[in-house]
Amino acid sequence: RPRPSGRIRPAAALAAAGALPGPGLALAAGAGRPALAVAAPLAATVWAYDLALKHTPAGPAAMAAARGLDLLLGAAAAGGGTRAALPSAALLGSHTLAVTAVSRRETTGGSVLAPLAALATTGTLTRLVTDGRIRLPAGRRAAAAPGLPGSTPAARPSRTTGALTTALAAAYAATAARPYLHATLNPSPPLTQRAVGGGIRATVPLQAALAARSGAPVTSLLVAALAPAGRMFARRAGMRKVSIT
Determine the pLDDT at residue 31: 93
Complete DSSP assignment for 125-177: HHHHHHSS-S---SHHHHTSPTTSTT-----PPPHHHHHHHHHHHHHHHHHHH
Determine the pLDDT at residue 237: 58
Instruction: Check pLDDT > 70 for residue 70.
Output: yes
Nearest by Cα to 51 from 18, 9, 27: 18
Most confident of the ranges 115-119, 211-215, 232-236: 115-119
Contact between 195 and 118 (Cβ < 8 Å): yes
Instruction: Check pLDDT > 90 for residue 169.
Output: yes
Determine the pLDDT at residue 2: 79
Determine the pLDDT at residue 241: 55
Q: To 5 degrees, how large is the angle CA 33–CA 39–CA 44? A: 135
Nearest by Cα to 231 from 221, 222, 220, 242: 242
Determine the pLDDT at residue 132: 62
Percent above pLDDT 70 for the chain: 84
CA distances from 232 to 21, 168, 203 (A): 31, 19, 15
Q: Write down the pTM of the prediction.
A: 0.83
CA distances from 49 to 21, 44, 67, 179, 201 (A): 14, 9, 12, 26, 22
Report the run of H or E that residue 28 belongs to, with start and end.
helix 21-30
pLDDT-derived band at 133 (thresholds 50, 70, 90) equals: low
Determine the pLDDT at residue 145: 37
Contact between 197 and 242 (Cβ < 8 Å): no
Nearest by Cα to 86 from 36, 32, 145, 28: 145
pLDDT-derived band at 160 (thresholds 50, 70, 90) equals: confident
CA separation for the pair 225, 52 (Å, rounded): 36
CA separation for the pair 30, 20 (Å, rounded): 16
Q: Cβ contacts of residue 13 below 8 Å, gap of 6+?
A: 3
Determine the pLDDT at residue 6: 87
Helix (DSSP H) and strand (DSSP E) numbers for the chain:
13, 0
Nearest by Cα to 96 from 66, 119, 123, 72: 66
pLDDT-derived band at 111 (thresholds 50, 70, 90) equals: confident
pLDDT-derived band at 120 (thresholds 50, 70, 90) equals: very high
